[in-house]
Each structure stands twice: as C-alpha cells, then as structure tokens.
Amino acid sequence: MLIPVLALSLLFLLFGKPRGERVLPYAGSIAYFACLGVGFIAVELAFLQHLTLLLGHPIFTLSILLFTLLASGGLGSAFGGQPRLRNVCLAVAALAAVYALALPRVVPSLLPLPLLARILIAIALVAPLGFLMGMPFPRGLASTGHGPYPQPPFYWGLNGIFSVLGSVATMIVAVVLGFTAAMLGGAAFYLFAALVAGSIRPDAAPRAQGPA
C-alpha cells in the first residue's frame, strides 16, 4: 500500500500546485489532507470493530457509530471555536491512542450490562473523538483557494482518495497486527498531520464543512 500512496502523493505534488506559487506550503497541504483521510478512516474502522464486540451486531453497531461520529463531527465543524490545527490534531492522536490501548481491556468488562446501557456508553465514547475529528478538515479547507493552495474541490478529492486507500491499508494492518495496531496507526497519521499543520493557515471563512 505504501507504493501507491507515495505515487499518488507525487502526482498530486507535481501536477496540482498553482503555477508560480511556492512548493513547500503546497506540499504541506497535500500531506495534511492525505493524513486526515487515512487517519479518519483508520480510527473509524478500528472503532467499529471494538463497538461490534460491545453491541453485538455489525449493522446495528455501524448505524450507531456513523450517526454519532457524523453528528458529533458536524458539531465540531460548526462549534469548534478557533483552536490551532496542530493542537486539534494532537488531541485526536492522543485520544485515539488512549482508546486503542484501553478499549480491548474495557469492552469485555462492559458486556454483562443491558443493551441500552452499552449503547449509551458507545455514544459517550464516540462523541468526544468525533467532535475533535470534525475540526481539522473544515478548518484546513478554510485556507484553500488562494496563494499556493488549489481550490477546495481539489482537497475534497485528495481526502476521498486517501480515505479509500486508508480503508484498505487499515484492514490489512488489522488482519496482520490487530485492530489495536490499526487504531494506533490512525493516531500516528493525526500526529503527522499535526507536524505539517503549520503549513495550513485557516485565516479565511470556511468554504465547506465536513468531519473527514
């Protein structure tokens, strides 16, 4: 999976930059949005596995996870205030890492609880992470469309491509190393996004919102 990811990144880097603009801020924006795409889907899929064990049925779990993740992510997009992108990405990375290490130990102890209680616990677990994960994409997208940054649809497409690649990579990692490693991998991508977030300047009104 590393080869197609690097190849796509190189293609974006070579052919997407606005003519006459600086390379480094543009390259940083590519890395930032690509990391968000991979990191978001990795954390989501690993969460799905843990919550399936907690709630007992994949389809039922998926509906609860997606609803809570998207609803809380939307709230994070709309009411996230003005925290620095670096800090938000670091917070997501830290919380995802804590969940990755804690959920395999905590979830089995919750199984004797009634279903309603387990549903409420699942929502309580997903909502804080979803709220944080809803901030980095729209806040970063606010800087695009001027200077070295292409128009927002470019980054929507980039983020979507890397989300698809990330889903495949996450399942491979999960099969080989387990879902704890997959979720830690997602946290690592948010950590890298924090490292390159300095190239993103959210100094304009958001052009679009979304929790990716």
| Single pTM value for the model | 0.84
Query: How do residues 158-205 score in pLDDT, each as one tens digit?
Result: 888 889 888 988 999 999 999 999 999 999 999 999 999 887 765 444
Structural domains of the chain, ranges and CATH numbers in brackets: 28-199 (1.20.1250)
How many CA atoms within 13 Å lie on the side-chain side of 150?
A: 20
Confidence of residue 206 (pLDDT cuts 50, 70, 90): very low
CB contact burial 141-169 (16+ within 10 A = b; e otherwise): bbbbbeebbbebebbbebbebbbebbbeb
